[in-house]
């Protein structure tokens, strides 16, 4: 299948990219192309202009930031997974991104593209939620930060304006004492996407009480969410005695997706089971 014809621009700076984006009502940023190009080939998207971000230096790079790690939007999955800083500060990113698609997708797909696309079955959105991600966005009116919980608005819809670009994302580090993280996923057998995926961060005290649990769930509903019912049932409570009952809240309030592969009931079941698995694995790492 072939996409409709389009103009192609490859700006060499962020300001040039933003100018080009603002010049057309029908321009789209191109990152790794792993979601946008299939949509164009299916004619589900037909932008008049593609603005390729590959040469924009301001969107690249990985760096530490106090208690966090900043990943430029154009960081590929492979670059994130291979980064010693990411491995040390946010091993959850590494564990989850190793499970994305296949090597070709991980070589081309980017952090910014994954989050801006907001696929309901994408892995990184759940991780960003569990790591209290902060999106740094730049547009014609200036720069702003969007907390991850306000970023995912609906299926394939974020708080980004059409003339804005996601520049970088800050993830909270988890290399703190008594803290563990884990990602549990049920892969779609054909695409590798998350039928359901659960990212968990667990902090315990010396007595085994849960100081803080953060749980991001993807694949179950129209967009990734924080499982606040699970978190509230665990925070301040003995972890081991409460993890099973807390996990039962994983699909609370979700309008569960249903398709030929997985019914809504099955997705709800997966959300509960994978939440328990992710929490237990994270707690095991937190105990050291």
Ligand X SMILES: Cc1cc2nc3c(=O)[nH]c(=O)nc-3n(C[C@H](O)[C@H](O)[C@H](O)COP(=O)(O)OP(=O)(O)OC[C@H]3O[C@@H](n4cnc5c(N)ncnc54)[C@H](O)[C@@H]3O)c2cc1C
The residue ranges that bind ligand X (CB under 6 A) are 28-36, 38, 53, 73, 100-101, 105, 108-110, 112-114, 116-117, 119, 122-124, 160, 165-166, 191-193
Indicate the residue among 124 and 130 with the shorter CB distance to ligand X: 124
Indicate the residue among 46 and 284 with the shorter CB distance to ligand X: 46
Q: Which of 111, 185, 97, 115 has the alpha carbon at shortest distance from 153? A: 115
Residue nearest to ligand X (CB): 113
Least distance in angstroms from the C-beta of 81 to ligand X: 13
Least distance in angstroms from the C-beta of 177 to ligand X: 31
Least distance in angstroms from the C-beta of 235 to ligand X: 28
Indicate the residue among 176 and 191 with the shorter CB distance to ligand X: 191
Whether 187 contacts 204, CB under 8 Å: no
Contacts of 201 (CB under 8 A, 6+ apart): 92, 130, 131, 174, 179, 180, 181, 212, 213, 214, 215, 282
Indicate the residue among 114 and 179 with the shorter CB distance to ligand X: 114
- Give the H/E segment covering residue 147: strand 142-147
Structure tokens at 134: 């902060």
Half-sphere exposure of 189 (CA within 13 A, CB side): 3
Q: Report CA torsion sign: 32, 137, 153, 225.
A: positive
Least distance in angstroms from the C-beta of 255 to ligand X: 20
Least distance in angstroms from the C-beta of 241 to ligand X: 34
């Amino acid at each position: 299948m072939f996409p409709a014809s389009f103009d192609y621009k490859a700006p060499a700076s962020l300001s040039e990219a933003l100018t080009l984006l603002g010049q057309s009502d029908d321009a789209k940023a191109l990152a790794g192309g792993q979601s946008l190009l299939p949509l164009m080939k299916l004619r589900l998207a037909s932008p008049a202009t593609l603005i390729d971000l590959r040469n924009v230096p301001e969107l690249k790079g990985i760096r530490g930031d106090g208690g966090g790690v900043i990943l430029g939007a154009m960081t590929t999955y492979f670059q994130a997974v291979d980064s010693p800083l990411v491995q040390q500060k946010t091993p959850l990113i590494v564990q989850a991104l190793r499970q994305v698609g296949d090597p070709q997708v991980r070589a081309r797909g980017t952090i910014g593209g994954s989050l801006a696309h907001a696929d309901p079955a994408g892995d990184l959105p759940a991780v960003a939620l569990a790591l209290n991600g902060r999106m740094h966005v730049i547009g014609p009116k200036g720069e702003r930060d969007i907390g991850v919980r306000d970023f995912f608005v609906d299926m394939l819809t974020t708080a980004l304006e059409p003339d804005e670009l996601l520049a970088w994302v800050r993830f909270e580090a988890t290399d703190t004492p008594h803290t563990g993280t884990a990602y549990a996923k049920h892969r779609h057998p054909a695409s590798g996407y998350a039928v359901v995926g659960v990212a968990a961060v667990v902090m315990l005290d010396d007595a085994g009480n849960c100081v803080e649990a953060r749980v991001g769930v993807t694949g179950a509903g129209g967009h990734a969410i924080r499982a606040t019912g699970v978190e509230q049932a665990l925070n301040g409570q003995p972890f081991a005695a409460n993890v099973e009952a807390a996990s039962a809240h994983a699909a609370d309030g979700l309008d569960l997706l249903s398709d030929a592969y997985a019914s809504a009931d099955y997705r709800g079941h997966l959300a509960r089971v994978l939440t328990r698995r992710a929490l237990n694995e994270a707690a095991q790492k937190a105990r050291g």
